[in-house]
Chain A
Amino acid sequence: MSLRSRIKAVVLAGGKGERLQPLTTHTPKPLIRIVGKALVDYVLEGLTTLPLEEVIVIVSDRKVGNYIVEKWSSKLLLTVAYQRKPGIEGAMLTAREYLGKGESFVLAYGDIVVDKEAYLRTYETYLSKGSNGVIMLSPKIDVESYGIAYVSEERISKVEEKPIPQRAKSTLAVAGIFILPYDIFEYLETDMSFTESLNTLASTKTLTYYMWSKWWVDIGYPWDILEANKNILSELKGSYISDKAHVSSKAIVEGKVYIDDGAEVDHNTIIKGPVYIGKNSFVGAGAFVRKFASIEEEVIVGAYSEVKNSSIQPNVTISSFSFIGDSIVGSNTTIGPRTITLNIIPSGVKVSRLHPLKVKDKVVSKLGAIIGCNCYIGASSVLYAGSVVESNTRLKPFSIVETNLSKYA
């Protein structure tokens, strides 16, 4: 009896990442760095847990294609294809050409960060349930920013895209890992949306689910990067300091840290983990790097600066005496000395998926600045909580940037 023990996977790594602006003006979304890896690396790493015949990655940017081929072609049998029509539907129809007719396949969104076990468990569910398809689900409170699934009697009965919270009767988000039958293409062909196609599958075939109960982050908004950083860093099993890194004997390193090749940590620096310091980065004398800071490669943190719960993308310079908290700084940006980010969002400003915290009896939303790529922030500037600096901006010294999150509302 002939058999197919292997399955093909499709990764959707196209799209512009508009909700992530201004971080994606120069770096395509799949290459945004999260704790030392590109976003798309997390997905491809997850797929290595499956018995795959081939991975078809749909991209819309050459940089992404080149990066994936260079990094992954020795580990996965790869096909990189360029998306011709927009949207998830366009990407799916591009992918179809690389799948055998009638073949079921694994579908993964290219922008999710989750333990790689999730891929394996979803696939196992497909094997043992005998259903036509499986969707991984993850409980999420902000239903208005996800696709939401309804389940009953171990089956998915309906999928709803970004429902109004008051009307949504489920909080189970469609979590970007699927096993789908080839039939989905028939529906997409007739100009159905992806959600409509899933609903057609749910009503005409059996769609089951795998319920993922640990953390799962869909990188849609800038602060989702902070959420992913925090989760990954919290799970550091122990400390790792590369042989090729240099940590001054006078530096204080506490808690779990990952200090990558070529990184340098200068005298009297205090590192309080969990923290990541990327390749060839430099943390200057007296600097204070606190928990959930992820400093990606080739970054300079100047003397006496403080960084906490932030994502510092590659090639950023943070000059001396600055405070960067709860912020995301896009690649190639320079922050002048004594720049301060504030981090408590005024009440009344609401944006999607940013979770309020209880701080000293008050419920507040904490977020610092979102600074784009290739910016220059003049010395002694103050960036209000939730301020957004567009890419390629040059700010004079002593600038004040006010809260402006309206584009993410």
Chain B
Amino acid sequence: MCGIVGLACLPGRIVNPARAVRKSLEKLEYRGYDSVGIAVIFNGKIIIKKGRGKIHEVHSKFNFDGTPGNTVIGHTRWATHGAPSDANAHPHSDCLGTIAIVHNGIIKNFDELKKALIKKGHVFHSDTDTEVVSHLVEDFIRKGLKPYEAFKEAIKKVKGSYAIALITAYEPDKIFFAKKDSPLIIGLGDGFNFLASDIPAFLEYTRRIIVLRDNEIGYITPTNVVIENIVTEEKVNVQSRVRIVNWTPEMAAKAGYPHFMLKEIHEQPRALNETLLGLGPEINRAAELILKADRVFIAAAGTSYHAGLVFEYYLAKLPGIMSHAFISSEYSKYSKIADSNDLLVAISQSGETIDTLMALRLFKENGAKVISISNVIDSAIPRESDLTVYTRAGPEIGVAATKTFTTQVLVELVLALKIAELEGTLLPSEYNEKLSTLTKIPKVVEEVILKNEALALQLANTLSYKNNIYYLGRGLGVPIAKEGALKLKEIAYIHAEAYPAGESKHGPIALVEKDFPVLFVVLDDENKESIVGNIMEMKARNAYTIGLLTYGNDEIAEKLDFTFTLPRQEYFISPITYTPILQLIAYYTAVKRGYDPDKPRNLAKTVTVE
């Protein structure tokens, strides 16, 4: 995800167009914030100012507001192709500096296009997929096409998803645009027109909008809008598409959902799919590093720590490797232990978690190697790691981690399977078979969510009146239970504790009385029979028993007061498939209790203080 903005303006109609674009970009910062840039046309020339960092950082360096010109485009970036850097920041240009482009999306065939363009003598300045478009347009202009025709021909060659805004010095009052699978909206003004990834970007200036649809292409000038469909080549009746918005800006970003958290829970199938598609040779290198190490430690905090416990389990059960997961803030305990033959796996969604960074530094100082798992490209922890495997969940705005947890687990699972294959625990055929199971996960998660959403809401009606709840599981079910309990604590403010189910009779069960809710994570693994015993002992104390289990476990379901059912599956994918139900339970319980799940009290998304 990235945010783009374009503004074409009659002189003086908006006092400082570059400043207006900078302020619009600030409204889009939720879409990405690792680098930022603007391009303007002034006196027939293109001026580009861009750099790595947050908007206010780059602005204080270049002073965006002081840039003259009445045709402006801007971009705030969430890196996917190419690390965040000054060169990779948008806008991008062509060889002659007569074109500037901003882009949100992924151009899938950029590699082949780039090779062909390099053969023709084009010189690239960045590692981005975006830059190919500006060179393509340049190429068609050199062949004698007019800018708009050249732009259309270029877009026809591009595969993937995009919202693009492009300016050229040849036609300085126009901003060309194209849209497919990434959002793009036109804001209509009097003597100016905007383009942006989301409505709040220009709400300060206009409330008349056109939401562009896939395959639409065209251009804006200060006084005109032209839209056509690139496939059918039909012109769009612009007037019929104008809508007026009259509401609070925040809503647009989460359109379709009352809260970011619910949106992000529902985004999991897509996030998992993109994470899986995004994995490359770094998995092999990470697997080799882990195999080479004497000892493997895993450091993480919060939800990521639960992902760490899952990884510990995977390593133990798939290749059979001993590892140790610990909570990052406890790193000092290992000061005499860490040595140069060790390997640390640091897991952090933001890549900025200070505790995890401190743990990483301790291990590095002692000569250990570090692999990180992160969702933010080139953030602090990845920068200090020897190797990073990225999840591709996209920005997560809800404070409670959802899609980043399941994608972290997916990465860990692929990694553990790879290690098992390299080590010989898995035959190549078994490995491939298991990998193909993984490609079905997004569909399974989608099914699980659709089938269980109403049940979660129903259960929330009961849980919202409770003060305590236990989450119990065995084996791989333990970290799942822990993650479920954390979610309920952090957004619904209900005291929730998770234990290995076998541990309950060593203490916790003393608290259980009539109608005390106990939730069981029942997996199709070797522990199923034992967990039935735990259910019975809770029932004997009149607990209110809730269970998550797969189809075909009717005998267990009959013993429970409330059940969620999932498709039959290999038990090792269950942290990815079971957890969304626990996220939904926490979400609906918070809503039922009247809390805002996106803004839990006392919590911040990224913890950068010890």
Select from chain B the residue with minimum beta-carbon distance to A1.
B239
Cβ of B12 within 8 Å of any chain A Cβ, yes or no, is no
Residues of A within 8 A of B450 (CB): 150-151, 169-172
Within 8 A of A (CB), among B193-212: 198-199, 208-212
CB neighbours of A171 from chain B (8 A)? 450-455
Q: Is the CB of B457 within 8 A of A213?
A: yes
With contacts A125-B255, A211-B266 taken as known, whether A172 is within 8 angstroms of B239 at the C-beta atoms is no
Which residues of A have CB within 8 Å of B185? 128, 130
- B429 in contact (CB, < 8 A): no
C-alpha gap A363/B209 in the complex (Å): 53
Contact B256–A1 (Cβ < 8 Å): no
A-side contacts of B244, CB under 8 Å: 3-5, 51, 127
Question: Interface with B: A36-44, A80-88, A192-200, A202-210, which one?
Answer: A202-210
- Of all chain B residues, the one with the shortest Cβ separation from A3 is B242
Q: How far is the CB of B534 from chain A (nearest CB, A)?
A: 19
13 A-B pairs within 8 Å (CB atoms) are namely A1-B188, A124-B245, A124-B251, A128-B198, A128-B211, A129-B255, A139-B453, A139-B454, A141-B455, A170-B450, A171-B454, A213-B258, A214-B591
Complex Cα spacing A256 to B245, Å: 37
**Considering the chains assembled together, what is the distance between the CA atoms of A129 and B454 in angstroms?**
25
| Chain A residues whose CB sits within 8 angstroms of the CB of B208 once the complex forms | 1, 3
Chain B residues with CB under 8 Å of chain A are: 183, 185, 188, 198-199, 208-213, 238-240, 242-247, 251-252, 255-259, 262, 266, 269-270, 446-447, 450-458, 514-515, 542, 544, 561, 587-588, 591-592
Structural contact, B256 and A172, CB atoms closer than 8 A: no
**Cα–Cα distance between A171 and B212 once the two chains are bound (Å):** 31
| Bound Cα distance from A255 to B198, whole angstroms | 45
A139-B454, A169-B450, A358-B515 given; A125·B256 CB < 8 A: yes
A153 on interface, CB distance cutoff 8 Å: yes
- Does the CB pair B255–A124 fall under 8 Å? yes
Contacts of A361 in B (CB 8 A): 514, 542
Judged by a CB distance under 8 angstroms, whether A152 is at the interface is yes
Docked pose: A379 CA to B211 CA in angstroms: 66
Known: A171-B452, A208-B256. 19 other contacts (CB 8 A): A1-B188, A1-B242, A3-B208, A102-B240, A124-B245, A127-B245, A128-B199, A130-B213, A139-B457, A141-B455, A152-B269, A153-B269, A169-B447, A172-B453, A173-B454, A213-B457, A213-B591, A214-B592, A363-B561
B212 CB contacts on chain A under 8 angstroms: 130
What residues of A have a CB within 8 angstroms of the CB of B454 in the complex?
A: 139-141, 143, 171-173
Q: Which residues of B contact A139 (CB under 8 A)?
A: 453-454, 456-457
B258 neighbours in A (Cβ, 8 Å): 121, 211-214
Q: Which residues of A contact B252 (CB under 8 A)?
A: 124, 128
Closest CB-CB distance, A362 to chain B, in whole Å?
A: 11
Cβ of A119 to closest chain B Cβ, rounded Å: 12
Contact status of A210 and B256, CB under 8 A, knowing A3-B244, A51-B246, A128-B211? yes
Question: When the two chains form their complex, are residues A128 and B451 in contact, meaning their CB atoms are under 8 A apart?
Answer: no
Contact residues in A for B213 (Cβ distance below 8 Å):
130, 206
Across the interface, name the chain B residue whose C-beta is closest to A211.
B257
Distance to closest chain B CB from A58 (angstroms): 25
A110-144: contact bitstring with B at CB < 8 Å (1 yes, 0 no)? Answer: 00000000001100110111100000000111010
CA distance A130 to B592 in the complex (A): 30
A154 adjacent to chain B (CB < 8 Å): yes
Residue of A nearest to B447 (CB): A169
Kindly list the 5 A-B residue pairs having the minimum CB-CB distance in the complex, ordered from nearest: A130-B211, A171-B454, A139-B454, A5-B244, A170-B450
Which residues of B sit under 8 angstroms from A406, Cβ to Cβ? none
List B contacts of A74 (CB < 8 A).
none
Cβ contacts under 8 Å, A3 to chain B = 208, 239, 242, 244
Given contacts A130-B211, A169-B451, contact A4 B259 (CB under 8 A): no
B247 CB contacts on chain A under 8 angstroms: 120, 124, 127
Please give, as numbers and ranges, the residues of chain A lying within 8 Å of B269 by CB-CB distance. Answer: 152-153
CB distance from B162 to the nearest CB of A (A): 16
**Chain A interface size, under 10 / 10 to 19 / 20 to 34 / 35 or more:** 35 or more
Q: Chain A CB within 10 Å — which of B258, B447, B456, B588 has the most?
A: B258
A206 to B213, CA, bound (A): 10
Q: A190 at interface (Cβ–Cβ under 8 A)?
A: no
**Chain B positions within 8 Å of A168 at CB level:** 451
- Whether A4 lies near B561 (C-beta < 8 A) is no
Q: Which residue of A lies closest to B270 (CB)?
A: A153
Closest CB of chain A to B494's CB: distance in Å? Answer: 17
Q: Give the chain B neighbours of A169 by CB distance below 8 A.
A: 447, 450-451
Task: Determine the chain A residues whose CB is within 8 A of the CB of B270 once the complex forms.
Answer: 153
Q: How far is the CB of B103 from chain A (nearest CB, A)?
A: 19
Nearest chain B CB to A150's CB is how many angstroms away? 7
Contact A129 B451 (CB under 8 A): no
Distance, CA A141 to CA B565, complexed state (A) = 13
Residues of A within 8 A of B452 (CB): 171
Complex alpha-carbon distance, A150 and B453, angstroms? 12
- State the CA gap A173–B259 with chains docked (Å): 19
Judge if A2 is at the interface, Cβ distance under 8 Å: yes
Q: Decide: A213 and B588 in contact? CB cutoff 8 A.
A: yes
The closest CB in chain A to the CB of B590 belongs to A213
Contact residues in B for A4 (Cβ distance below 8 Å)? 242, 244
Which residues from B are CB-within-8-Å of A143? 454
Q: Which of A289-315 contact B (CB under 8 A)?
A: none
- What's the least CB distance linking A238 to chain B, in Å? 15
A211–B587 Cα gap in the complex (Å)? 13
Min CB gap A289→B, angstroms: 22
A407–B115 Cα distance when bound, in Å, is 72
Residue interface mask A166-182, B partner, CB < 8 A = 1: 00111111000000000
Nearest Cβ in chain A — how far from B276, in angstroms? 16
A130→B240 CA distance, assembly (Å): 12
Contact, CB under 8 Å: A152 / B446: yes
How far is A361 from B542 in the complex, measured between Cα atoms in Å?
Answer: 7
Q: In the complex, A128→B238 CA distance in Å?
A: 17
Say yes or no: A211-B456 contact (C-beta < 8 A), given A1-B239, A152-B446: no
CA distance A274 to B59 in the complex (A): 55
Within the complex, the shortest CB–CB distance from B296 to chain A, in Å, comes to: 37
Known pairs A3-B208, A211-B262; A121 contacts B251 (CB<8 A): yes
- Cα distance, A140 to B458, chains bound together (Å): 8
Most buried by B among A120, A130, A153, A212: A130
Closest-by-CB residue of B relative to A121 is: B258
Asked whether, in the complex, the Cβ of B453 is within 8 Å of the Cβ of A127, the reply is no
Contact A128 B251 (CB under 8 A): yes
Q: Give Cα A3 to B188, complex, Å.
A: 11
* CA gap between A153 and B457 in the complex, in Å: 22
Q: Is the CB of A154 within 8 A of B256?
A: yes
In the assembled complex, the Cα of A47 lies from the Cα of B243 at a distance in Å of 18
Cα A130 to Cα B210 in complex, Å, equals 8
* Chain A residues in 8 Å Cβ range of B209: 127
Q: Is the CB of B256 within 8 A of A129?
A: yes
| B457 and chain A: residue at smallest CB distance | A139
Contact with B along A344-383 (1 / 0, CB 8 A): 0000000000010010010100000000000000000000
Q: In the bound complex, do residue B544 and residue A358 qualify as a contact, i.e. CB atoms below 8 Å apart?
A: yes
CA A236 to CA B259, docked complex, whole Å: 24
Chain A hits for B210, CB < 8 A: 130
B259: A residues at CB distance < 8 A: 213
Cβ of B160 to closest chain A Cβ, rounded Å? 16
CB neighbours of B542 from chain A (8 A): 361
Q: What is the CA–CA distance of A152 and B267 in the complex, to the nearest angstrom?
A: 9
Q: For residue B405, give the distance in angstroms from its CB to the closest CB of chain A.
A: 20
Given contacts A120-B247, A171-B452, contact A213 B211 (CB under 8 A): no
Task: Using CB atoms, name the residue of chain B closest to A141.
Answer: B454
Q: B457: which A residues are within 8 A, CB to CB?
A: 139, 141, 213
Q: Which of B199, B247, B588 has the most CB of A within 10 A?
A: B247
When the two chains form their complex, are residues A127 and B243 in contact, meaning their CB atoms are under 8 A apart?
yes
* Minimum CB–CB distance for B364 against chain A, Å: 41
**CA A147 to CA B258, docked complex, whole Å:** 21
Instruction: Find the B residue at minimum CB distance from A117.
Output: B258
Pick from B256, B515, B544: contact of A211, CB under 8 Å: B256
